Structure formats: C-alpha cells, structure tokens
Amino acid sequence: MESWDLLTGSVSAYPAEDKDGRIEVSFSLPAGGSLLLCLRQGRPDKGEEQRYSMTELTPEPGEKTSPLAPNIVILDYCDLSLNGRVEKNLYFYEAQHKIFTHHGLPRNPWDSAVQFKTNIIDQDKFPDDSGFEASFWFTCDAGLDFSSLRLVVEQPDLFQVLVNGKPVQQLEGEWWLDKAFGVFKIGEVVTTGKNRITLKVSPFSIFAELEPVYLLGNFKLESKDRGFKLVPARQLEVGPWDKQGMPFYSNGVIYQKTHTIQTSNPQKERFLVKLGNWKGSMAEVRVRKSVAGFIAFPPFELDITDFLAPGKNLIEVIVYGTLKNTLGPHHNNPPLGRAWPGAFQRGTKGGYPPGSEYSVVSYGLWEGFKMISRKRD
C-alpha cells in the first residue's frame, strides 16, 4: 500500500496488514481532508505506523504582524448631477441607470444587450451640452498619513477627475488590479474632514459607465452612519482584519516569529508550522525568507524541517484574502460563495448604509500560528 501526495507528487509506504488474503488499513481524516492510497502488485517496503510526541515551541520576543499592501475602501454611493438637478446618496448602479436613461437609452447597454456588429457603439453621438457629474464623498480624521493616499478610477481616460474641486492627474504607467483601473496621487489636495471626488463627463459618451471608486493608503476605517471614516493607521495584530479597520483588504498579511532551533535530527525530530483558527484563500510559509510551502487544507500544517538551520530562524506565515471583500457584492446579505450580476445591481433599501453593514468575510489568523516539534517515540 502506498500513499500518494497530490500536492508534492511524493510516494511513501503506508501501514497495511494482510489478513486472510485481504488488505486492511486504518486512517483518520480531518474535516475536508483527503487521502489517496494505491494498492500495487508485488511486495513494496512495508510502512510502519509511527508514534510521536508533540511539543509546542516558544518563540523569541518580538512577534510582528503587517499588511503587504495598502488598505482599501470602496466608495459606491454618490451624488449625481444631470442638467443641474442633483440627487444625493445614490448607489452607483442606480446612478448609472439614471445616466443612460437620461441620454435616451433604455438602460446601461453594457450589462443588458448584445452588440450586433457595431449597433451599440454607433449610438455614441451625443450633443456638446450632454454629460453628467458624479461626486463621491469621504471623511478623514486628523493625523492621517495623507501622503499615502491614492485614488483608483476605472477607465480614467473617459472622465475629468477632481478632488475638492482641483483637477488631479493619473500616475503614468501605474494601475491597480487591472490595467483599466488608473491610479491618482491625491494626498496634496485632501484635507481633514469631508472631501469630495468628482467625475465629470461632457459631452456624454456611451462608454462612460459609472462604477465605484476606491481609495488606497496607510489608514484604518471606522464605521459611520453612512459608509466609513478614514483614521490614522495603527499596528495590526492577530485577529480578523475587518475588526481592525481593514474590511475591504484582500491582499496578504504577514505574521512573523523567530524560533531558536537547538538541534535537528531529521530522522527523529521534525518541525511543523501549524495554523489554528484562521480564514483565507491560502497561507504561504517562509523560513529564513525562502518559501517553504503553502497551507490550504486540513490539518493546516506544514513540515519545514528541511528549511531550518541551527540557531535563530525567522518564520513567516502570509495569509491571503480574496477579492470578495474588495469588489463585493457588499449589500443585502449576499450568500457567501455566490456572485452574479444582480447581486451588484442593488444597494441597500435605506440608502447609503453604515460601514458596519457592508458584507465582508473575516479573513486573517484569528490566533497565532504554532511551531511544533514532532519527535518519534
């Protein structure tokens, strides 16, 4: 009997017994775990069941937790101005719909129609006095790191972009998530208190599909009656990211510990990194800055013995989130694991909701990872 590891391709003998012409094996699987066994003809090496003693090692002082990328906030409600008439606190999709119908289309053609040859883009002929203005608002606390602030606008070439009434220019060659998402440096024109981002289109273009805008930077978020307030960043700790002012963050967070290894006999002692309560798409494990492997499935542990050296070893676990938190859907309690067009097309019934009501997943290490010594008895 052999055990086949589908992640590494390694093959090893698996304990089995021949009882009256039948092969018997025993195994235990964690929830969501898996095991692939192969029964071969012949007489391969017989696996022997091993017994081990497990000891949790104590790290050196100075554990550290830090994000790999700037924090994120989505701004998906705006004030819409059409022909001088202003409607406030509209969900972006409702505003988008009003823009297209105001310009003579039944709705947004890019999410509801099939283009035959060029029959949609052929309609891109609007008078010089057509267009719209959409304003997205955000609030900053005193002490914020304004120099870190970046604005992200989808298809920025279609819009005139202003912050607090001042034009801002796209950073050449920079983009975020997708090359169609342009980046603007805005710290110099942002102030403490309320700030306004304005997208202007004149004349109107059929390509000018209004979408949410995003802010990136060194900040944390606090829930307000409507949306969020940007406050100064503070040290990230073990625990869910959304409870620490990073509800929309989807990149990686690195958790660092240093362990001193006195002796290492790979034949008798192995060292494992083990995760406890956590959520993420996957976790990357690095030992002394080298990638030792990945953790994604129960029992959420990884053997790192071959990457260790005598003395102090820096162990890093990087937990990655998903774009669910960044891109949504965020409203009306969408079920996890499902995303369809309609889920993005409806805002909350009561208008711009408090930040605490946005639907996100609590990613992160909810408790520190452990370093385990496993010795053969």
Whole-angstrom Cα distance, residue 294 to residue 300?
A: 9
Backbone angles phi, psi at 45, to 5 degrees: -55, 135
Architecture of domain 56-69+251-322+363-376: Sandwich (2.60)
Angle at 156 between CA 70 and CA 180, to 5 degrees: 70
230: Cβ contacts below 8 Å, ≥ 6 apart? 73, 138, 139, 140, 141, 144, 215, 217, 219, 220, 221
How far from 140 is each of 28, 143, 233, 313, CA to CA, in Å? 53, 9, 12, 40
Tens digits of residue pLDDT in 198-207? 999 999 999 9
Whole-angstrom Cα distance, residue 308 to residue 372?
A: 13
pLDDT value at residue 48: 59
**SS3 labels along 37-103:** EECCCCCCCCECCCCEEEEECCCCCCCEEEECCCEEEEECEEEEEECCEEEEEEEHHHHHHHHHHHC
Just give the CATH number of 71-232.
2.60.120
Contact call for residues 35 and 29 (beta carbons, < 8 A): yes
Spell 63-89 as b/e; 16+ CB within 10 A means b. Answer: eebebeebbbbbbbbbbbbbeeeeeeb
- Mode of pairing for the β-strands spanning 77-82 and 160-163: unpaired
Query: Locate tokens 């989808």: which residue?
Result: 154
| Grouped pLDDT means (10 residues each) for the chain, 377 residues | 85 87 87 86 63 88 96 98 95 97 93 88 93 98 97 97 97 96 98 98 96 98 97 96 98 97 75 96 97 92 93 97 96 91 91 96 96 86
The domains spanning 56-69+251-322+363-376 and 71-232 adopt the same CATH topology: yes
Distance of CA 188 to the CA centre of its chain: 28
Give the tokens for residue 32: 């969501």
- Domain ranges (residues) in the chain: 2-49, 56-69+251-322+363-376, 71-232
pLDDT value at residue 47: 59
Whole-angstrom Cα distance, residue 176 to residue 279?
A: 24
Query: pTM here?
Result: 0.88
In a 10 Å sphere around its CB, with 0-12 CB exposed, 13-18 middle and 19+ buried, how is residue 115 labelled?
exposed
Distance of CA 100 to the CA centre of its chain: 32
**Residues 109/115/121/126 CA torsion (nearest 10 deg):** -40
Sign of the dihedral defined by the CA atoms of residues 143, 147, 151, 157, in that order = positive
Tens digits of residue pLDDT in 248-279? 999 999 999 999 998 666 667 899 999 999 99
Strand partners, 228: 223
Helix (H) or strand (E) segment spanning residue 341: helix 341-344
